Amino acid sequence: MLQKKTLLFVYDFPHSKSIDFLYQCIKENIQIDVIIAAGYTKIKKTKRILNFHKYTTTTEHPKDVASQFNIPYFNCEHNSLETKNIINEFGINFGIIAGARILNQEIIRQFFFGILNLHPGLLPHSRGLDSILWSIYNSKKIGVSAHLINEKIDAGQLVLQKTVEPLESDSIFDIYRKVYKVQIDLLPEAFNLIDNNIHFEDLSANNYYSYMPEEIQKKTLKNLKSYIANYSKIK
């Protein structure tokens, strides 16, 4: 069986998912052959009612962790010619997203095994941004999907999913923390399922959600306890 040669996509600044995925790979003996780190890009968001990111902050820089474990580290845009050259130089055939904007088809097709993404929602009904809030708003189950990406956002091939069960005592922050932890926990399981003899189920590209507008955020958070109470009835 062909051995995976893995590239980890991260952000080139202290970023929780970049750091936590990197440490999880090291802990689970997933060899990272090279890291490509993209710089900060400001994106337009709707006004946020709550700041979820303050519960998943880090002061560690991925470059420092890479240096500690002797992992080659490059700072360049993920969709650049430089990235393509690095993929060829290191013989890369598999990718893991621990922090990236949308990758283009020209980059995706460089990876024989594909590129693995851990999405904080159950695909295909929770594609896009604010997936936890939209799942609550639409009375859909909350969870995490591991999938091999294609050129469409939060589509491709489904590797595995896990539902996250909220408790009556949970706040929205508790739910976010649970979903984030499941993303990290599912990484090694998904990695080990991927080889050149397995074809995964294709995901349909259902409606894509952008950042939730402020007024809908308020309504969704107000209805959280009702959502949790009805959770066992949701299909």
Domains of the chain and CATH, by start: 6-233 (3.40.50.170)
Radius of gyration of the chain (CA): 18
**pLDDT (0 to 100) of residue 46:** 82
Long-range CB pairs of 22-25 (<8 Å, 24+ gap) are: 22/62, 22/65, 22/66, 22/98, 23/65, 24/184, 24/187, 24/188, 25/96, 25/187, 25/188
**Distance between CA 212 and CA 161 in Å, rounded?**
23
Q: Is the pLDDT of residue 207 over 90?
A: no
- Do 206 and 161 meet the contact criterion of CB atoms below 8 Å apart? no
Q: Is the pLDDT of residue 55 over 70?
A: no
Average per-residue pLDDT in the chain? Answer: 93
Segment 28-32 mean pLDDT: 97
**pLDDT (0 to 100) of residue 235:** 66
Q: Give 52's pLDDT tier (boundaries 50, 70, 90).
A: confident
Give the chain's end-to-end CA distance (angstroms, integer).
39
Beta-sheet pairing, 6-11 with 94-97: parallel
Q: Which residue has better confidence, 223 or 231?
A: 223
Q: Which residue has better confidence, 127 or 1?
A: 127
Q: Is the pTM of this model over 0.85?
A: yes
**Tokens for 112?**
């024989």
**pLDDT (0 to 100) of residue 233:** 74
Q: How far is CA 188 from CA 31, 160, 179, 193, in A?
A: 11, 12, 16, 9
Segment 135-154 mean pLDDT: 95
Burial state string for 164-191 with b = 16 or more CB within 10 A and e = fewer than 16: bebeeebebeebbebbbebbbebbeebb
Q: Give 56's pLDDT tier (boundaries 50, 70, 90).
A: low
Q: Is the pLDDT of residue 196 over 70?
A: no
- Residue 218's CB: how many other CB atoms inside 10 A? 12
- Which residues, 6 or more positions from 153, have their beta carbon under 8 angstroms from its beta carbon? 102, 127, 128, 208
Most confident of 38-42, 152-156, 159-163, 201-205: 159-163
